[in-house]
Structure 1
């Protein structure tokens, strides 16, 4: 099966890498950013183009959500299967007469970060069972964690991922702002962060909660609020503590 990837960002890079590692040939990688395309092409020995999309049987669209519909118009082969990799878009966003699908890897991707692909869950959806099986079989070459998921379910998968990943990372960034303001190396907090994430592999997150809010320690909460000089930090601190209290009805 001839496979092409549309895109040159983080997801496209890792799709190319995981396929290369599993000896799944890619016919072409296509996009607008010639520099990024050339980097992927040279690293994984994949032909690339910024002007002419090659004919393929299976296309993966790995671009920003707001560009999926536009770039999908480049695909003219009506006999092809086209899958986007978005967690928040329906397969119907794809604009063409080809067979439509989604192929969603549940992970945060950065080109500079190596990943254990076998641990990444994949969620697939297609218009018919045969196409769904094609995508499942392909995903199973990479990971054992593969399941079918329609758009309604996938929306909640993506929403959960935003809470569990994007919001948590933003809190890391805000925490670093505080530590930097006091000239405390943020590296000193990494063991705490690692232990927090490791703990929820064994304990339900709700049962793993610690800190002054769950202890209802008003003196410490007030002390912290008095220390915070950045308005945005104070809003986050208060909202998070109120949410903790409500969860445990404190």
Structure 2
């Protein structure tokens, strides 16, 4: 089977790396960014192109969501399987006369951060059982966590991921801005962050909540609001406190 990965960003890089480590040959990486493609090609010894997509049986489109529909038009072959890696788009967003699918890895990807691919969940959807089984056999060589998932489920999976990952990381960035403003090394907060994350492996997040809003300590909340100068940070602080109070209003 010939596999082509389309894209040169974080997801494309890690999929190519995971496939290589899992003994799954990748015939080509195709994309527009020649510089990034060269880096991936040199590291993983996979041919690349910016001009012509190689003939393949299975194409994986790993580009940003807004580009998937347009990029999918570049595949003119009909007797093939094409999957995107988005958690928020239906497989029908793919524009072509080929079999459509979704090959969605649930993880935050950065090229500079190594990952344990066997721990990454993969959510798959295909038009028929044979294509699902094909993708499942590939995913099983990479990960221990592979599930069948329709578009309706994936929408909520991605929404959950945004709350758990993207929003949380933004809060880390905002927290660092505050610590930096007082010349307090952010590394001093890393044990607190680690303990916060470690706890939810053992108890439900709702049961792990602490802090002034959870305790109903209005004086502390008021004093914090006076310290915050950045309007976005203040809005986040107020919104989060309201949400915490609402979640525990019958328990305080």
Runs of 4+ in 1 over 2 A off after TM superposition: none
Q: Look up the match of 2:165.
A: 165
Q: Which residue of 1 is the match for residue 134 of structure 2?
A: 134
Offset of 1:14 from its aligned partner?
0.1
The match for 1:62 is 62
Distance (whole Å) between structure 1 residues aligned to residue 230 and residue 32 of structure 2? 40
Give me the whole-angstrom Cα distance separating, in 1, the residues matched to 2:192 and 2:133.
Answer: 42
Shift of 1:109: 0.2
Question: In 2, Cα distance between the equivalents of 1:132 and 1:248?
Answer: 43
Within 2, Cα distance between the matches of 1:8 and 1:227?
Answer: 43
With the length of structure 1 as denominator, give the TM-score of the two structures.
Answer: 0.99
1:232, distance to aligned residue in structure 2 (A): 1.3
Query: What is the Cα deviation at residue 223 of structure 1?
Result: 1.2
Displacement of 1:228 in angstroms is: 1.3
Cα separation, 2, equivalents of 1:71 and 1:229: 43
Deviations 1:75-96 (A, max 9, x none): 1111100000011010000000
Unaligned runs of 5+ in 2: none
User: 2:24: which partner in 1?
Assistant: 24
Structure 2: distance between partners of 1:170 and 1:121: 23
Task: Report the counterpart of residue 147 of structure 1 in structure 2.
Answer: 147
Taking only aligned residues, the RMSD between alpha carbons, in angstroms, comes to 0.7
Query: Residue deviations 1:162-197, cap 9 Å, x none?
Result: 000000000001001100111101111011001111
Query: Which residue of structure 2 aligns with residue 211 of structure 1?
Result: 211
CA-to-aligned-CA distance 1:13-38 (integer Å, 9 cap, x gap):
00010001011000000000000001
Normalising by structure 2, we get a TM-score of 0.98
Structure 2: distance between partners of 1:234 and 1:35 = 40
Deviations 1:114-157 (A, max 9, x none): 00101000000000011011111111111111100000110000
Equivalent residues in 2 for 1:223-238, closer than 5 Å: 223-238=223-238
Q: Matches of residues 34-53 of structure 1 in structure 2 within 5 Å?
A: 34-53=34-53
